[in-house]
Chain A
Amino acid sequence: MAPTTRVLDRPTGEVSYLRATLSGMTQTLKHLVNPHKVTVQYPHERESISPRWRGTHRMLTTEDGKAKCVACGLCPTVCPANCIKLVPGEDERGNRYPLVFEIDEFRCIFCGYCQEVCPEEAIHLGRHYENAEYSRASFVYDLERLTAQTHPVSQLWDPTDPKGE
């Protein structure tokens, strides 16, 4: 028996692309006038980052421009990624200071333990994310580089409530 064929009328009202297009365009037009914008016009505009942001390091200095570090050796000890190299020495006034202080930012996992353990508040993580370099070697930040950084430093805890109570 030959199959019977039944031709249905196309439900023009439901499948018309016009309706969907219009609803889509409504959405677009709504965003055109909506003040809530997602796209940031980087680099002309920048998102503000959290005060607890943990980026590349910065060494703070005393008033006379010397690194605050006293080469106590706690940060290389606590560092879980083993990325800090420290050789202690003595300056002309007999004070302990780091002869070599290097952080390999490629190895660093940005845990912030070094900042937390530092008894002199010398080494800090930075609120900073633009880290491009032309060579791999320049990702090993030496003391000069660390003290020359100017970006704001990370705030790992609330100074009014340091124990998080």
Chain B
Amino acid sequence: MTAPPAVRAAPKMVTLTIEGRQVTVPEGTNLIEAAKVAGVLVPHYCYHPGLPVAGVCRMCLVDVEKAPKLAPGCATAVAEGQVVHVHSEKAREARKGVLEMLLINHPLDCPICDQSGECELQDYTFQEGRDGSRYREPKRFNPVEDFGGDVLYVTNRCILCTRCVRFMDDVAHEPVLNVSERGDRATIGKFEGADLTHPWAANVVDLCPVGALLSKDFLNKARAWELDRAASVCPNCTQGCNSVLEVRDNVVVRMKPRSNEEVNHFYLCDAGRLDYRWLNRADRADQPLVHTGDGLERSDWEPAIARAAAVLAGKRAYVLASPGLSNEALFLLSQLVQRTGGAGAFRVERGPEAPLAGVPDLALRAERAANVMGAELLGFAKGDAPLSGLNADDVLVIADHDLSQLGAAALEAIDRHRAVIVIGTTLPAGLSHAAVVLPLANVAEEEGTLTNLRGRVQRYFQAKAAPGLARPAWFVLGDLLAATGATEQYWTPGEVFAALAKGHPHFAGMHYDTLGLKGAAPAGALAGAGA
């Protein structure tokens, strides 16, 4: 495990040779991590960079020259001048034996196992295991157990790596799991009366290298190899955990964590990972609508944008902006506010905060929207009554803001308001008097950047196609600004971000292309300001 970034007292470096490749790593690094630096994967099960070393699976045995016997890569620290062979005859033979042993009681039910295709037992057996079994005796059998929460435990498939036990003990600090029984009867057990209901407990499903711990939500839904994956950022709270959206037939079927040492390490909370269905909702706005005398009629983009610009002409725009929109969209909305001398506000839904004890500054945050920080930075006022500043002759621009949480009085005010423009992923009920409806792509259907509560700016990528004629928010708002007379034109979200970086100190020095998959912290000393 690499040292945490806080203690940078220039660690002593050690040079060693792994599989003929010379690497220099900090003192105290173990052989698995050193081999990663050399580009060599040491097969392992129980070792995980986010968990304490257990050394129980015996899979990471490597051949160290001048050592009397094979050394476990996870528990052996590097030494100066060490020569390590990962794929020597001796090491391969040992791992073959370990695999044969692990498969003794494994049911080999890959065809009905959800882990199939992303299973490390399957991968390593295929790579270097025996092609047949020598075991003729009946296999151990235990029934499937419900661990509570989103987790199902299939005892037969378990290889007892204890990653889940160590996660609950040392990361979640809620020791619920243990290794029950001894010898070949050993299984993962729950403590009496306890359930796996910790708000971060579903991470054990990702940590499990085999198909023993399964997500009930994903059970039998899709095969790992059928999924299209896109790097994203969890849109469900201000923490901004890095995630992967997994899509099958244009439907998001699962959200998994993506590691980022600066934000979420390897984890994603249960509430965040399971709240992805709204990305698939079917009642989307998928066509620009324009209000004629008798109601909203289907239209096309050009007339709808022209109509919206005509409605805005000479009026103040009062923007009700969703705190889930991208920085780019919020920047363009703030431009609209500036051009018309208007104002912008939003309300953010709140829920209980749920920290993960073992990781500093990681929690399911109370504010349940991805870009509250970005919206505030770009001049939108956060408040419980975001419509309080609305004047009667303003144009109310509802930019994907969830109206259901605003309360009856606010809804009535919107209902009475004369000039309303809806720019959003859905057409909220009771807005049939809107002048124009411009359909947007949601966070899974476009790319852009989000700012988390520590000011970190992170990119997300497109995972699926938008319905109908819906377009990304930066595209629609860029067109709308141009129609109201702005001279800037934007062809990519990167260009919008460049304009944002030029005009706002928080984003100064950032570049869309170099944000990469892990994002960038602001240059200033903003860290901690959102706490």
**A interface, CB within 8 angstroms of B:** 70-74, 77, 88-90, 94-96, 119-120
Task: Tell whether, in the assembled complex, residue B220 and residue A72 are in contact, meaning their CB atoms are under 8 Å apart.
Answer: no
Task: Tell whether, in the assembled complex, residue A72 and residue B225 are in contact, meaning their CB atoms are under 8 Å apart.
Answer: no
Given contacts A70-B111, A77-B226, A94-B144, 14 further A-B contacts (CB under 8 A): A71-B220, A72-B110, A72-B111, A72-B116, A73-B223, A73-B225, A73-B226, A74-B111, A77-B225, A88-B220, A88-B221, A88-B222, A96-B220, A120-B111
B112 at the interface (CB under 8 A from A): yes
B214 to A: closest C-beta gap in Å:
12
B385 at the interface (CB under 8 A from A): no
A105 to B: closest C-beta gap in Å:
22
Chain A residues near B194 (CB, 8 Å)?
Answer: none
Chain A residues near B111 (CB, 8 Å)?
Answer: 70, 72, 74, 119-120
Within B214-238, which residues are at the interface with A (CB < 8 Å)?
219-223, 225-226
B69 to A: closest C-beta gap in Å:
38
Task: Tell whether, in the assembled complex, residue B112 and residue A96 are in contact, meaning their CB atoms are under 8 Å apart.
Answer: yes
A11 to B: closest C-beta gap in Å:
79
What are 12 A-B interface contacts by the 8 Å CB criterion?
A70-B111, A71-B112, A72-B110, A72-B111, A72-B116, A72-B223, A73-B226, A89-B220, A95-B112, A96-B220, A119-B111, A120-B111
**Interface mask (B111-154 → A, CB under 8 Å = 1, otherwise 0):** 11000100000000000000000000000000010000000000
Distance A94 CA – B152 CA, assembled complex (angstroms) = 12
A83 to B: closest C-beta gap in Å:
16
A126 to B: closest C-beta gap in Å:
22
B155 to A: closest C-beta gap in Å:
14
CB-nearest residue of chain A to B109: A70
Q: Is the interface of A mostly helix, strand, loop or mixed?
A: loop
Chain A residues near B223 (CB, 8 Å)?
Answer: 72-73, 77, 88
Chain B residues near A95 (CB, 8 Å)?
Answer: 112
B510 to A: closest C-beta gap in Å:
41
A53 to B: closest C-beta gap in Å:
27
Chain B residues near A120 (CB, 8 Å)?
Answer: 111
Chain B residues near A96 (CB, 8 Å)?
Answer: 112, 220
Distance A77 CA – B111 CA, assembled complex (angstroms) = 13
9 closest cross-chain pairs (CB), A and B: A72-B111, A73-B223, A96-B112, A119-B111, A70-B112, A88-B220, A96-B220, A90-B220, A70-B111
CB-nearest residue of chain B to A72: B111
Distance A119 CA – B109 CA, assembled complex (angstroms) = 10
Distance A96 CA – B223 CA, assembled complex (angstroms) = 12
Chain B residues near A73 (CB, 8 Å)?
Answer: 223, 225-226
Task: Tell whether, in the assembled complex, residue A90 and residue B219 are in contact, meaning their CB atoms are under 8 Å apart.
Answer: yes
Give the residue among A70, A71, A88 with the most B Cβ atoms within 10 A: A88
Chain A residues near B226 (CB, 8 Å)?
Answer: 73, 77
B248 to A: closest C-beta gap in Å:
10
Chain A residues near B112 (CB, 8 Å)?
Answer: 70-72, 95-96
**Interface mask (B300-324 → A, CB under 8 Å = 1, otherwise 0):** 0000000000000000000000000
Chain B residues near A74 (CB, 8 Å)?
Answer: 111
Distance A7 CA – B277 CA, assembled complex (angstroms) = 102
Distance A71 CA – B219 CA, assembled complex (angstroms) = 12
A9 to B: closest C-beta gap in Å:
86
Chain B residues near A71 (CB, 8 Å)?
Answer: 112, 220
B247 to A: closest C-beta gap in Å:
16
Chain A residues near B220 (CB, 8 Å)?
Answer: 71, 88-90, 96
Chain A residues near B116 (CB, 8 Å)?
Answer: 72
Chain B residues near A72 (CB, 8 Å)?
Answer: 110-112, 116, 223
**Interface mask (B88-121 → A, CB under 8 Å = 1, otherwise 0):** 0000000000000000000000111000100000
Distance A95 CA – B225 CA, assembled complex (angstroms) = 21
A48 to B: closest C-beta gap in Å:
34
Give the residue among A70, A73, A120 with the most B Cβ atoms within 10 A: A73
Chain B residues near A77 (CB, 8 Å)?
Answer: 223, 225-226
Distance A109 CA – B284 CA, assembled complex (angstroms) = 39
CB-nearest residue of chain A to B117: A73
Distance A70 CA – B144 CA, assembled complex (angstroms) = 18
Distance A89 CA – B226 CA, assembled complex (angstroms) = 16
Chain B residues near A89 (CB, 8 Å)?
Answer: 220
Distance A120 CA – B110 CA, assembled complex (angstroms) = 11
B253 to A: closest C-beta gap in Å:
11
CB-nearest residue of chain A to B152: A94
Distance A72 CA – B219 CA, assembled complex (angstroms) = 12
Give the residue among B220, B221, B222 with the most A Cβ atoms within 10 A: B220
Distance A77 CA – B144 CA, assembled complex (angstroms) = 28
A156 to B: closest C-beta gap in Å:
19
Chain B residues near A119 (CB, 8 Å)?
Answer: 110-111
Distance A99 CA – B225 CA, assembled complex (angstroms) = 19
Distance A77 CA – B223 CA, assembled complex (angstroms) = 10
CB-nearest residue of chain B to A88: B220
Distance A74 CA – B223 CA, assembled complex (angstroms) = 9
Chain A residues near B221 (CB, 8 Å)?
Answer: 88
Distance A70 CA – B220 CA, assembled complex (angstroms) = 10
